[in-house]
Structure 1
Amino acid sequence: MFRLAAIPLLLLLISACTSNKKPAEETEVQWDVTIAFGSCNKHDLENQLWDDVLKAKPDLWIWGGDNIYADTSDMEVMRNMYAKQDKVRGYRKLKREVPVIGTWDDHDYGLNDAGLEFDKKAESQQAFLDFLAVPQNSPRRSRQGVYAAHQIGTRLGMVKILVLDTRYFRSSLTDATEEGKRFQPGPYGEGTLLGEQQWSWLEAELQSSEADFNLLVSSIQFLSDQHGFECWGNFPHETERLKQLLLKTGAANTVIVSGDRHISEFSKTKLDGLPYPLIDFTSSGLTHPYSDFDGEANPYRIGNVISEKSFGLLRFNFSKNEVRMQMVGDEGVIYQEIRQTY
């Protein structure tokens, strides 16, 4: 039986190749923990993937952001949208069977491309935590930002999940001067993405992690940074800071999952001094992908961009120190996958 542990609550221990359109069943390897995630979900559009998520038998579902499309400072409107999402039949069934955690992005934060300037962010945070059924006495209710730590595993091993908040503390973005792009990197050293409070928390969580794998949940892409939309690359010093933090803390086998882009892709790089490759697995959108996608530069990309409705699946094997990452579509179609041994 799997149990999900929230930190700082008591931890409960519990007893590269690509392919196209394969069935989502796995028989030759025993996967110890399975985590599903996704983003870009309109509550009033049909989500055809909830039954496929359940068929994958995940031990955890992670919302990656844009879980509803509120874009409002009216909290009654936002709460009504969350209530409608909660009543979606497939999602209701998922919640009954699978623990749910996650982060937000701009559209469920309340304002497109917004950061620290959004004047309803405190109220929006409470609505989001209500949606995730976070207890009223949780420390998260009195802390700024929706970042959080969780752990899930078996007697064989553990995955630590660090859910980041790329909205609450984020400085203003720099408008792009290049045609066809919305934003560009700001001056090096100016502005913040996570804010000092969250950076201190993240360092402490990575430093203390004894997990076999660490999973960072970022609503926006970390590695892909040339498309001109929101990404970590708009704050190049923050990108470098996270890389250096991974080296400093020696955090084992860290994988990043992201959303926001309405496409799915794998990005991968090697950091000097890090004993494993760093992978950013982007998966979106759940209800409305970027179907007109016609290409963009990403020097870190592995395989192809998938612009179909899909969710992400990560299967962990502790004895083999291996993760299988899959982009899964309607009827269990696997659009692309990679396996990484650490």
Structure 2
Amino acid sequence: MFNKYIAICLLCIATACKTQNQVEKTTNKEIVDTTSKADFTLAFGSCNKQNETNLLWDDILKTNPDVWIWGGDNIYADTDNMKRLRAMYAKQNSVLGYQKLKSEVPVIGTWDDHDYGLNDGGVDFDKKKESQQEFLDFMGVDRNDPRRTQEGVYAAHTYNTPKGSIKILVLDTRYFRTDLTPDTESKKRTKPNAYGVGTVLGTTQWNWLTDELKNSTADFNILVSSIQILSNEHGFETWGNFPHEVDKLGKLIVDSKAKGVIMLSGDRHISEFSKTEISGVDYPLVDFTSSGLTHTYSAFNGEPNPFRVGNVVFTKSFGLIKFNFKTKEAQMQMIGNDLKVMGELHQTY
């Protein structure tokens, strides 16, 4: 479903088209406004090495978020040894800046391959059940929480305010994800599977997501995916390796009539906005990629993304979204050290 709109998106980008609902800015000169309180503020990020200094924790706190969302690769473990994995999570939990954040802000999130335990790992990782428990311990999840007995770390979080509500649906793109197809004909690592072959979420998680979206009454619905959903030509991990799953998600968003769906992603060591239109939804779908927190693709010199809006940011940053329930606006920003605004996208829903 998304794929049929590639031509439209390319035309819009080429002609720098703007709609009345959209204002785009990319800058590294402005400083984020921390003086005014939004109706709800979420901050998120990914790709965080526990042994490297993260200079952004104080900046994250200064933005006064109502929730911090881990987008995956929250540590770099790449191990099937649970004792080692536990020690690495403990290392991250000992970071003073992160301790202060946790003491003041609720923390939720998902994992990606490096904290899952296996680079590019999926359904066949033989320590995924044990790794799930270590991840849940790191996240401070109660022993009686359903995630302790279900397969996968997916979860729903609803935040109700006097002015409106936000529903955050944290997806697990590791536990059930089936095999990727290596690209032996080019320099890319992977290529899309044959249409209909394989899955990102698995049957149980798809059923859960369907129920959560169709029954949602929230003003905004946030989908957290550790890997990109829209960008599909770079050859690394992406929902685009399972094009039928991308179409299935688009159809679900249309059928559910869920309001204000925004997609968050990580993994890539770059930050960018991707956007597309789908028939049956009266707002564009945005995939806000924020990566990374301690290291980035500093040698980035370009890659195709037919859905890209604005410029790629390849310096350390985190994502910030400020919501206004009255105007139905989401102000999305990429924030670097010292609160510099590296990129910005405003969208009305």
Aligned residue type for 2:24: C
1:265 corresponds in structure 2 to: 272
Separation in 2, partners of 1:302, 1:59? 27
> 1: distance between equivalents of 2:314 and 2:149?
39
Change (3 A) 1:243 1:40: same
- Are the counterparts in 2 of residues 256 and 279 from structure 1 also a CA contact under 8 Å? yes
Cα contact 1:19–1:337 (8 A) shared by 2:
yes
- Asked whether the 8 Å contact 2:179–2:198 carries over to 1, the reply is yes
Tell me how far apart the structure 1 counterparts of residues 26 and 300 of structure 2 sit (CA, whole Å): 20
Deviations 1:285-319 (A, max 9, x none): 00000000010001110000000000000000001
Alignment partner of 1:25 out of 22, 33, 37: 33
Q: Does 1:300 align with 2:307?
A: yes
Match of 1:9 in 2: none
- How far apart are residue 154 of structure 1 and its match? 1.0
Name stretches of at least 5 consecutive residues in structure 2 with no aligned partner.
Answer: 1-22
Structure 1 counterpart of 2:234, which letter? H
Tell whether the 8 Å contact from 2:26 to 2:310 is kept in structure 1 after alignment.
Answer: no
What does the per-residue CA deviation read over 1:267-296, in whole Å, with 9 as the maximum and x for residues that have no partner? 000001111100000000000000000100
How does 1:170-249 map onto structure 2 within 5 Å?
Answer: 170-249=177-256
Residue 325 of structure 1: aligned partner: 332
Moved >6 Å (runs of 4+): none
Tell me by how many angstroms 1:87 deviates.
Answer: 0.4
The one-character-per-residue Cα deviations of 1:199-219 (angstroms, maximum 9, x if unpaired) are 000000001100000000000
What residue is the counterpart of 2:155 in the other structure?
148
Q: Relative to 1, partners in 2 of residues 1:17 and 1:179: Cα closer, same or farther, differing over 3 Å?
A: same
1:89 to 96, 113, 134: 96
**Other-structure match for 1:63:** 70
Please, what is the CA RMSD of the aligned residues? 0.9
Deviation at 1:30, TM superposition (A): 5.2
Q: What are the Cα deviations for residues 72-130 of structure 1, in whole angstroms up to 9, with x where unaligned? A: 00000000000010000100000000000000000000000010000000000000000
Q: Structure 2-normalised TM-score?
A: 0.92
Q: Secondary structure at the match of 1:326?
A: strand
- Does the residue aligned with 1:256 lie in a helix, a strand or coil? strand
Partners of 2:319 and 2:193 in 1: CA distance: 31
Q: CA deviation at 1:17?
A: 1.3
TM-score, length-scaled by structure 1: 0.94
Given candidates 284, 287, 292, the residue that maps to 1:280 is 287
Give the total of aligned pairs: 326
Identity of aligned residues (%): 60
Query: 1:307 & 1:205 partners in 2: Cα distance?
Result: 34
